[in-house]
Amino acid sequence: MPVDRLSLAELRRQEPLLAAHVGPFGYFASGDHQVDPRKLAQALIERLDIQRTAAVAVAPGMVQLADGNQFFADEVIVANGLAAGTLLGLPVPLPLRPVHGDILRLGVPQALRPLLTHTVRGLVHGSAVYLVPRDDGTVVIGATQREDQQTGISAGGVYQLLRDAQALVPAVAELELLESTARARPGTPDNSPLLGRVSAGLIVATGMFRHAVLLTPAIAKICLEILAGAPDPQWDQFAATRFSTEGLSTKEPR
């Protein structure tokens, strides 16, 4: 992806509402894009035959539901999030931990639209913040990262996001706060995915941390490689067994 270094004046020509003191320069990625997770999820639900259920156990080629029913297949892919680590029957433990994050959604008054035309990312007092404009006239501001076990929305997190976003785009103070949410991301000890075969008929693809939506297409392609029996060796660094001391073999079945 091409990235150009721009002066502050050039940045403000791209985004006129940027603060005058954001820095002497910045970087512009003309090929950068964004994904709306809510729209993506809804599109997948509408397009695919998705059945919502609760799985409690897995085994090579088998999934057991909470009601006791079992489903069998040649291959099972464990691709849920934080709850993947609670599934019974896995031949290797999945060391997932909850990393909570707060995200805000704000409405932009007509007089200020468009507030932004590109995703803006910045560092404010050492903390990363991003502002993502949506085509419905809202802006998403995110995201905090905390491991305090607080499942609800953090008042400090909301304050930090608004403060830092306003430092980059002062007009944020004039927006309407529509929604605040907090979710737990599945983190691993090294914050890299758990990806690969753990036994014949059983593949793990989880632990995407903060990047699940962005990584999904790549993860899907890698899973196809694994299913075909010829995954690129470079994916071995993400092996789901890398934190196990049991010396489990993950070689493809013949």
Q: Model confidence over 113-165: pLDDT tens digits?
A: 999 999 999 999 999 999 999 999 999 999 999 999 899 999 999 999 999 99
Backbone Cα Rg of the chain: 21
Q: Which of 204, 165, 200, 159 is nearest to 186 (CA)?
A: 204
Q: Is there a domain that residue 47 lies in?
A: yes
**Both 111 and 180 in a single domain?**
yes
Is the pLDDT reported for residue 206 higher than 60? yes
Q: Is there a domain that residue 9 lies in?
A: no
Q: Is there a domain that residue 30 lies in?
A: no
- Tell me: the pLDDT tens digits for 160-204? 999 999 999 999 999 999 999 999 999 999 999 999 999 999 999
**Both 202 and 169 in a single domain?**
no
- Tell me: the pLDDT tens digits for 6-54? 999 999 999 999 999 998 999 999 999 999 999 999 998 899 888 788 9
**CA dist 96 to 63, 68, 84, 209, Å?**
20, 25, 8, 9
Q: Is there a domain that residue 81 lies in?
A: yes
Q: Is there a domain that residue 134 lies in?
A: yes
**DSSP state at residue 209:** T
Alpha carbon 151 to chain centroid, angstroms: 17
**Both 181 and 109 in a single domain?**
yes
Domain count, the chain: 2
Containing structural domain, residue 164: 98-185
Q: Is there a domain that residue 144 lies in?
A: yes
Q: Is there a domain that residue 112 lies in?
A: yes
What pLDDT was estimated at residue 246? 56
Whether 25 and 5 have beta carbons less than 8 Å apart is answered as: yes
**Both 122 and 63 in a single domain?**
no
* CATH number of the domain that residue 218 is part of: 3.50.50.60
Is the pLDDT reported for residue 219 higher than 50? yes
**Both 220 and 158 in a single domain?**
no
Could you give the CA distance from residue 249 to residue 236 in angstroms, rounded to a whole number?
12
Calculate the average pLDDT of the chain.
94
**Both 60 and 167 in a single domain?**
no
Main-chain phi, psi angles of 226, to 5 degrees: -65, -45
Read off the pTM.
Answer: 0.88
Beta strand ranges found along 10-112 (DSSP E):
25-29, 55-59, 62-65, 70-72, 76-78, 97-107
